[in-house]
Amino acid sequence: MNLVGFLPNELEDLAVELGASRYRGRQLATWIYRKGVFDLDTMSDLPKDVRARLAERVTIHVPEPERVTASQDGSRKLVFRLGDGSRISSVLMPDDDRLTLCVSTQVGCGFECRFCLTGVMGLERNLTAAEILGQVLAANRLCDGGQRVTHIVFMGMGEPLANYAALVQTLRILTDAKLGLGYSPRRITVSTVGLVPGIEKLGRENLKVNLAISLHAASDEVRSQLMPVNRSWSVETLVAAVRKYPLAPRQRVFFEYVMLDGINDSPEDARRLVRLLRGVRAKVNLIPFNDWDGSPFRRPPLARILAFQSILLDAEITTTVRWSKGEDIGAACGQLREPIPA
């Protein structure tokens, strides 16, 4: 039984089960989540007998990266080998005073977006809350000099809302200000291909995290070609669900739009996107496609990307062009893929 991934109140319950007070559970949560200490022997304010009883029943396991690859742009790709031999990756991306971690939620992915290398792997399995949270704890351990990850994006391998229970458990621990990791929900972004029931459910959790939609096309015709998930929920249905997602004042929904030469990058595509997002508190991130071997797509010329952006800006939609980090180390958006274990 790995205590990483337990909610603080579950740690309190465990302490009671072991004949100790709930306070001991709170101490455990503080050591693991707030102090990043994973060795029971170091938890000096826990009585020895409580530690001994814990040691008989539990472990506190945070995955060690098997490999850390540094990119020329400063980002680092962490590859973890999990207990069953599966491999997943996270990407650490520094940017001024920010240090963003992109985490995975599944081994592989079953959604088969045609521009995404992870989609080629197919879905192997969901990650547990321990394995998702473990990526954050491991990344924080890797940081030097008291620095820690400042922002977390659920945009790595897998579809977060397809692993809903583990996602929400992880978010609750990350955002618990007293006994969890204490991240502001505004520094956490959950990205989805657009699982409408999942978006509605997440909105009801009152977690207040940012929502990002992998949109990539504004018409059903193009989007269904690129993303089979669009056959389940049309673009209109998706945007209608997004309109209902609760937002704090000044909070916006992010729309990710990978730019593919000759597919979704025309001025007419941009105008369609403007019409679709009318009245939505949106921020659009245009992501020039990151090439990979065997991909049928290409990145559009820069002028075409900028022309697309200016149509959105003219319509007063905040739009940035996001050059992916870690392209040289296979860590850029849509490039995460690790060998499937033998």
27 or 104: whose CB is closer to ligand SF4? Answer: 104
Q: Are 220 and 232 in contact (CB under 8 A)?
A: no
Q: Least distance (Å) from ligand SF4 to the CB of residue 160?
A: 9
**With binding defined as CB under 6 A, does residue 305 bind ligand SF4?**
no
Beta bridge partners of 212: 191, 254
33 or 154: whose CB is closer to ligand SF4? Answer: 154
8 or 108: whose CB is closer to ligand SF4? Answer: 108
134 or 334: whose CB is closer to ligand SF4? Answer: 334
Residue span 251-290 as binding mask against ligand SF4, x where in contact by CB under 6 A, dash where not: ----------------------------------------
119 or 198: whose CB is closer to ligand SF4? Answer: 119
112 or 220: whose CB is closer to ligand SF4? Answer: 112
Instruction: Please list every residue from 94 through 133 that binds ligand SF4, using CB under 6 A.
Output: 109, 111-113, 116, 118-119
Q: What angle in degrees, to the nearest 10, is found between the helix axes of 196-204 and 164-175?
A: 30
The encoded tokens of residue 299 equal 């990145």
Q: In this structure, are strands 98-102 and 87-95 parallel, antiparallel, or unpaired? A: antiparallel
For residue 250, how many C-alpha atoms fall within 13 Å in the half-sphere facing its CB?
1
Q: Whole-angstrom Cα distance, residue 309 to residue 299?
A: 15
Residue written as token pair 């990791």: 181
Helix (H, G, I), strand (E, B) or coil at 335: coil
Please write down the HEC assignment for all residues of 86-106.
CEEEEEEEEECCEEEEECCCE
H-state helical runs in the chain: 8-17, 22-29, 48-57, 117-121, 129-142, 164-175, 196-204, 220-226, 235-244, 267-276, 302-314
Q: Are 30 and 87 in contact (CB under 8 A)?
A: no
**With binding defined as CB under 6 A, does residue 159 bind ligand SF4?**
yes
Region binding ligand SF4 by CB under 6 A among candidate stretches 151-159, 167-175, 261-269, 319-327: 151-159
Q: Least distance (Å) from ligand SF4 to the CB of residue 74?
A: 24
Q: Least distance (Å) from ligand SF4 to the CB of residue 123?
A: 8
Helix (H, G, I), strand (E, B) or coil at 53: helix
Residue span 172-211 as binding mask against ligand SF4, x where in contact by CB under 6 A, dash where not: ---------------------x------------------
118 or 135: whose CB is closer to ligand SF4? Answer: 118
**With binding defined as CB under 6 A, does residue 332 bind ligand SF4?**
no
CB-based contacts of 22, cutoff 8 Å, min separation 6 = 12, 13, 15, 16
Instruction: Please list every residue from 218 through 247 that binds ligand SF4, using CB under 6 A.
Output: none
Q: Least distance (Å) from ligand SF4 to the CB of residue 279?
A: 26
Count the site residues for ligand SF4 by CB under 6 A: 13
Instruction: Please list every residue from 23 through 82 that binds ligand SF4, using CB under 6 A.
Output: none
Binding site for ligand SF4 (CB under 6 A): 109, 111-113, 116, 118-119, 157-159, 193, 214, 334
